[in-house]
Amino acid sequence: MLGVIAGGCIAEPLDQSPLNTYPPPGSIPFSVTTIAASPPTSGGGDAVDSSVDVITLAKDRPFAGRFRYDVYGPDSALNTPVVILVHDLGGVAEVAHLARVLAETRIVIVPHYDSPVRGGRFPDPMSATACALAMASESDVYGANPTDVAVLGVGFGALAGFIVANTGELYLPAECEYDEMAAPERLVALGGSWSPDALANDSFDAMATFMGGTPQQVPATWALLDPAQYGSPTPIEITLIRGAHDLDGSVTDGFAGQLLAKGWPVVAGIIAGHTSRSALSGAEAEIAGYLEP
């Protein structure tokens, strides 16, 4: 497993070239110690076992009123780790293949929420994630281990997972059939929209509809998307990964630096040869490796 950043230590990226030092030299205001690392693996050092039968445990089932979810897992699951896979604003279809790969060794819960184009509204991503975490906290859900729960967020889903993990039950919707939510043990962020300013400039009209107005019209709502306000380190293990070819990689790098400066323990890495989006269907084993404790 990749080394952990703690007290200013940071793991070497998967792509070992000097051009992909993560974060960029000089971006963190204190000494950074590089720890040698090998690419992550799944299953205690073994590659993901593609011979395991993945079954659909629940498909497009309603939960928490208007929200829905899919659940996948291995054919025979007992005391199995859980991952809540939170999709980006583009929709749940983009993570479907990754979900089935991860489900070879885990129970995978994929909460649905509508994208801005389909009429989605803030805080639906947070509400769906919180209810999925509450469901995972139930010891008898699909043979899952309620004490080994991770959140894997993609794009905006990474931000949603980070906010929910650091705000307790604040976003747990009243209509959720589970009324207690436990924080996950790990949060893995692939890509991530860590800047409200960047979100405001990305598909601006759709985001304004999603947020109920522009940043100028509803500044307090937009401020809820700023992860910098969650400033106290928590026991949750945080992993920030991105593709080496991400055009907006500096957003992830900058957020890693902010967390480090505040004393958060963080694991960080770059998936060589990919963007964060292409990694969903081209580097599934590497992503799975970051979910290991």
Q: Can you give the pLDDT at residue 250?
A: 87
Strands 107-112 and 144-154: unpaired
> In 3-state terms, what secondary structure has residue 115?
coil
Residue 13 lies in a domain: no
Q: Can you give the pLDDT at residue 203?
A: 55
Domain span at residue 198 reads: 52-264+273-284
Residue 213 lies in a domain: yes
Q: Is the pLDDT of residue 146 over 60?
A: yes
Closest C-alpha to 22, from 45, 47, 44, 2:
2
Residue 1 lies in a domain: no
Residue 153 lies in a domain: yes
| pLDDT tens-digit readout, 196-253 | 887 877 556 788 889 999 888 999 999 999 988 887 788 899 999 999 999 888 889 8
| pLDDT tens-digit readout, 50-105 | 456 888 889 999 988 888 999 999 877 778 999 999 999 888 999 999 999 999 99
Task: Work out how many domains the chain is built from and give that number.
Answer: 1
Would you state the structure tokens that stand for residue 90, as one six-digit string?
Answer: 């583009």
Strands 67-74 and 107-112: antiparallel
Q: What is the CATH number of the domain that holds 121?
A: 3.40.50.1820
Residue 152 lies in a domain: yes
Q: Is the pLDDT of residue 9 over 80?
A: no
Q: How confident is the model at residue 140 (pLDDT cuts 50, 70, 90)?
A: confident
Per the model's pLDDT, the better-predicted residue between 30 and 141 turns out to be: 141
